[in-house]
Amino acid sequence: MTMVYLDYAATCPPSPAVLSEFKRLSEVSFGNASSKHAVGRDASRLLEKARLGILSSFGLNPSSYQCVFLSGATESNNLAIKGVSFSYKNRGKKIITTAVEHPSVKNAFEQLKNEFGFQLIVLPVNEAGSVEPSSLEAVMDNEVILVSIMAVNNETGALNDIGALADIVHRYPKAFFHCDVTQGIGKVKVPYSKIDLFSFSAHKVGGLKGNGALVMKKTIRLVSLLSGGDQELGLRGGTVDVAGAYCMHLALKESMEKFAEHKEHASMLKEHLLQGLSKIDEVVVNSPLDGSPYVVNFSLRKHKASVIVEGLSEAGFYVSSISACNSKGEPISYVLLAMNRSKEDASNSIRVSPGPEATIEDIDAFLAAMNKLLLEVRPR
Ligand code: PMP
């Protein structure tokens, strides 16, 4: 049967080289990085090499930045957002995010507001899904301690001008700028050195699920969310997954090395897919043309997207009907609603996110399979 996996924004298969290295390291460097004997020291050396490697992939100097190994972007976003808010609560109570963040950012902010009394400001986005820097400028003042704005939206691929947004925040010395770069690493240019703290997961770039990190300026003090040993600068107690962390470094390095080649390929596929979609009259594209080349989101005007996605899956084409992280909660995309789309469009979106091995033929086959389903399946 055909199997065309076009859901890299949800997760991607581990890089074969990374996977075989994971197996090897799990066997030869299995030590607890906190153990004081030679086996532990070997694991600890590997961990520090991974830390430096990750900072180097982002072009950051280890004398000013540090990397904390965590279980993924969800944990990293939570640690950054709650860690900063709790640590600097005496400086001010205002915290700012946007209407289109991943639930691990959105819900962390809502918890800070609802359970801890912080004053939350949620920035709107324009119809292309991006934050207008002027809307941030309008709400900044000396009471703000944290601003968190994502680099690339996971549902639509909309980009934010992280450099301009960070510059605005840094005019206010009490405020920190956090960025969820999960959908951006190895894929789009991000001015990492302008961000105070940023979060990502390994599995979006060929690393393993269950690994992620928070990269932050060394001068920032965070309240830890997990009480335990003093691993990971005291911010994340628990025995560290050394092999996983090292493999995240390798996967990130690989994705940065292939940045230009992969981006060109993704842009070519996006253009081809958009061309095919433009021939289907019930399709309305939600992704901005100048967004990430790795994500194409569109709504169906006549059919139920979830039914079509299920039919596509049965035919061997794997795409998302809504951000995978939202599928159990809200059936409607709050991201598309924030972009001023109708309720119908926001409940009937499909996200296609091909990987580097996808071909033009795969995109054509996907379009053919979808066109066939649109003819066969009863409209909603
Ligand atoms: N942020 C964004 C933008 C994401 O796309 C995801 C993954 N869907 C996450 C955070 C959370 O990553 P993880 O599930 O690996 O914790």
Nearest by Cα to 254 from 185, 312, 177, 319: 185
Tokens standing for residue 380: 């909603």
Contact at 8 Å (CB) between 73 and 198? no
* Alpha carbon separation from 345 to 15, 50, 333 (Å, rounded): 35, 43, 9
In terms of domains, do 279 and 342 share one?
Answer: yes
State pLDDT tens for residues 304-325. 999 999 999 999 999 998 754 5
Contact at 8 Å (CB) between 131 and 153? no
Question: What's the CA gap between 178 and 271, in Å, rounded?
Answer: 32
- 248 C-alpha vs ligand 1 centroid, how far in Å? 15
In terms of domains, do 269 and 294 share one?
Answer: yes
Question: What's the CA gap between 327 and 325, in Å, rounded?
Answer: 6
- 285 C-alpha vs ligand 1 centroid, how far in Å? 23
In terms of domains, do 213 and 138 share one?
Answer: yes
Q: What is the CATH number of the domain that holds 336?
A: 3.90.1150.10
Q: Which of 213, 231, 257 is the last residue of a domain?
A: 257
Residue 231, pLDDT > 80, answer yes
Number of domains within the chain: 2
Nearest by Cα to 197 from 162, 242, 148: 148
State pLDDT tens for residues 152-208. 999 999 999 999 999 999 999 999 999 999 999 999 999 999 999 999 999 999 999
**Does residue 74's CB lie within 6 angstroms of at least one atom of ligand 1?**
yes
* Alpha carbon separation from 20 to 26, 43, 149, 165, 255 (Å, rounded): 10, 18, 35, 40, 17
In terms of domains, do 194 and 266 share one?
Answer: no
Catalytic residue, chosen from 12, 179, 247, 325, is 325
**Does residue 154's CB lie within 6 angstroms of at least one atom of ligand 1?**
yes
Mean pLDDT of 351-369: 98
pTM: 0.97
Residue 43, pLDDT > 90, answer yes
**326 or 123, which is more confident?**
123
Question: What's the CA gap between 125 and 144, in Å, rounded?
Answer: 20
Q: What is the CATH number of the domain that holds 164?
A: 3.40.640.10
State pLDDT tens for residues 288-306. 999 999 999 999 999 999 9
- 42 C-alpha vs ligand 1 centroid, how far in Å? 31
**Does residue 305's CB lie within 6 angstroms of at least one atom of ligand 1?**
no
Tokens standing for residue 55: 């900072």
In terms of domains, do 248 and 329 share one?
Answer: no
Element (H, E) at 65: strand 65-70
pLDDT in the model for residue 330: 57
In terms of domains, do 253 and 349 share one?
Answer: no
- 306 C-alpha vs ligand 1 centroid, how far in Å? 21
Ligand 1 pocket, mutate which of 183, 187, 214, 327 (most atoms under 8 A from CB): 183
Residue 212 CA: which ligand 1 atom is closest?
Answer: 15
* Alpha carbon separation from 110 to 19, 152, 277 (Å, rounded): 37, 21, 37
Residue 329, pLDDT > 90, answer no
Question: What's the CA gap between 186 and 202, in Å, rounded?
Answer: 11
- 372 C-alpha vs ligand 1 centroid, how far in Å? 32
Residue 326, pLDDT > 60, answer no
State pLDDT tens for residues 79-136. 999 999 999 999 999 999 999 999 999 999 999 999 999 999 999 999 999 999 999 9
Tokens standing for residue 356: 């580097």
In terms of domains, do 163 and 78 share one?
Answer: yes
pLDDT in the model for residue 13: 96
**Does residue 180's CB lie within 6 angstroms of at least one atom of ligand 1?**
yes
State pLDDT tens for residues 124-151. 999 999 999 999 999 999 999 999 999 9
Is 325 assigned a catalytic role? yes
Ligand 1 pocket, mutate which of 104, 106, 149, 252 (most atoms under 8 A from CB): 104
In terms of domains, do 198 and 342 share one?
Answer: no
Give the mean pLDDT of the chain.
Answer: 96
**Does residue 337's CB lie within 6 angstroms of at least one atom of ligand 1?**
no
In terms of domains, do 198 and 182 share one?
Answer: yes
Q: Which domain holds residue 42?
A: 16-257
In terms of domains, do 233 and 311 share one?
Answer: no
DSSP string over 311-343: HHHHTTEE-BSS-GGGTTS-SS-HHHHHTT--H
Query: First-to-last CA distance in the chain?
Result: 28
Q: Which of 205, 235, 257 is the last residue of a domain?
A: 257
Question: What's the CA gap between 60 and 52, in Å, rounded?
Answer: 9
Q: Which of 212, 237, 257 is the last residue of a domain?
A: 257
In terms of domains, do 203 and 282 share one?
Answer: no
In terms of domains, do 126 and 252 share one?
Answer: yes
